[in-house]
Structure 1
């Protein structure tokens, strides 16, 4: 009689949490080692010439490194990842910088979604009550449109939106497509802000005082922030239009 190769139930249950546990370990390690100190405008100002030179000298390898670094930061829910989008615009301009940032953010968000879904998805989904189950079925039935609306409105925490769909039966392809399309407009806006940072960072590098929010208030950057505000209004406006259209056709 062959011995059973199946893992005991408790071991299998713990194994579900391994990807999420690894993400938490990387996040805590980064915070303890002070990696967040590198995600500041002051640090970007200090190494701006080095980054520019690296991007020019290494071409697509530098772009790939940027995407992977962005993806890792998003996957572990590291704070201030918005600065990486600014850096993308600073290094590569609006279009390429925005696309690279969106790609990195989508990769990282997908990793976090998969880890959370592996750990919690089926377990929580099977325990919801009637009302929560109705909400879950509604989200699952319209997963793409709901997720796209959440992504387009930058008023919601990015990491929370990465994890929330993992609690429902959202297909991976739907999650990736809605995430990429929803992130792209905001990434372009942030990249446009980043493209205008050259003068600000150059001036900051020659001063003793740190870069402040007031330093970022320029006409070009103000337009970028206005673009973000308009993006925040897209989801509620679309919801009102959809409800009005449905009412007219009933």
Structure 2
């Protein structure tokens, strides 16, 4: 009987600790199961751009608040679609307002992931981590600002992973929020600027699609797919610029390393 009560108390303790994580996973699973995440595409944005603009014109502040909320929830649930939403922000609200709203929303959503990881998973990880992982975490925290700024500027790892890892490694809250907000500014505004000129891209794509259908005849839908890929906006010049900014963020770490070297 005592063993059963002890197990029940243990299960209740872990459920109390893990409920934020379980809630995020449950909501994300529901959205994927219902297929709602499929609406986060450039095609859907392009096909409904007139109705969305009419809605914004009539209820600007409410629409902007809804955009920020949807973006923050998308990031918090680690759903795909962040790039599409950033482009949509520039497309619907202009590059400046859309860019600022995207930075705020992405930072809020990423902070939710950080807090959930820190409060629900970090103790479990620390209790089972070996000395090598502990030394890595200590070294990461020592130069957390530079490392996180580099990871935000350079899209080497998935956004959700960079949101999760600092919470597990015990990075300070202020450092995490500041590096997230600063690090995503260049890429966010690059996509918002692209979204600001999306009308011409959509019209060109639609004209090319219709021309292809006219030439292909029957079966043209399979031969002439219509698609807008946000990854195409990651030009070599943009990637090179982000890498340069990321390397600049690591300069303090390099200077500290050289100073520690024995003469």
Report TM bin, short chain.
0.7 to 0.9
CA RMSD of aligned residues (A): 2.5
8 A Cα contact 2:43 2:228, kept in partner: no
What is the rounded CA distance, in whole Å, between the counterparts of 1:140 and 1:44 in structure 2? 40
Q: Which residue of the other structure, out of 244, 249, 256, is the alignment partner of 1:233?
A: 244
Q: Does 66-75 or 30-39 show the bigger shift?
A: 30-39
Segments of 5+ residues of structure 1 without an aligned counterpart are: 1-6
How far off its partner does 1:147 sit?
1.2
In structure 1, the residue matched to 2:14 is 13
In structure 2, the residue matched to 1:56 is 57
Q: Does 196-205 or 235-244 show the bigger shift?
A: 235-244
Matches within 5 A, 1:158-237: 158-204=159-205, 207=209, 209-213=225-229, 226-237=237-248
- How many residues end up aligned between the 2 structures? 239
TM-score (norm 2): 0.81
How far off its partner does 1:65 sit?
0.8
8 A Cα contact 1:45 1:205, kept in partner: no
Matches within 5 A, 1:136-155: 136-155=137-156
TM-score (norm 1): 0.85
For residues 99-118 of structure 1, the C-alpha deviation after alignment (integer angstroms, 9 at most, x for no partner) is: 11111111111111111222
How far off its partner does 1:119 sit?
1.6
What is the rounded CA distance, in whole Å, between the counterparts of 1:146 and 1:13 in structure 2? 32
Seen in structure 2, the aligned counterparts of structure 1 residues 43 and 247 have a Cα distance that, compared at 3 Å, is same
Larger radius of gyration: 2
In structure 2, the residue matched to 1:69 is 70
Seen in structure 2, the aligned counterparts of structure 1 residues 225 and 67 have a Cα distance that, compared at 3 Å, is farther
8 A Cα contact 2:125 2:168, kept in partner: yes
Segments of 5+ residues of structure 2 without an aligned counterpart are: 1-7, 211-224
8 A Cα contact 1:44 1:201, kept in partner: no
Instruction: Kindly report structure 1 stretches of 4+ aligned residues shifted beyond 6 Å.
Output: none
How far off its partner does 1:205 sit?
5.4
Seen in structure 2, the aligned counterparts of structure 1 residues 248 and 128 have a Cα distance that, compared at 3 Å, is closer
For residues 112-142 of structure 1, the C-alpha deviation after alignment (integer angstroms, 9 at most, x for no partner) is: 1111222211221233222211110011222
What is the rounded CA distance, in whole Å, between the counterparts of 1:50 and 1:225 in structure 2? 34
What is the rounded CA distance, in whole Å, between the counterparts of 1:129 and 1:248 in structure 2? 29
What is the rounded CA distance, in whole Å, between the counterparts of 1:160 and 1:54 in structure 2? 35
What is the rounded CA distance, in whole Å, between the counterparts of 2:9 and 2:193 in structure 1? 53
What is the rounded CA distance, in whole Å, between the counterparts of 1:61 and 1:109 in structure 2? 23
What is the rounded CA distance, in whole Å, between the counterparts of 1:140 and 1:66 in structure 2? 33
How far off its partner does 1:231 sit?
0.5
Seen in structure 2, the aligned counterparts of structure 1 residues 104 and 28 have a Cα distance that, compared at 3 Å, is same
8 A Cα contact 1:186 1:228, kept in partner: no
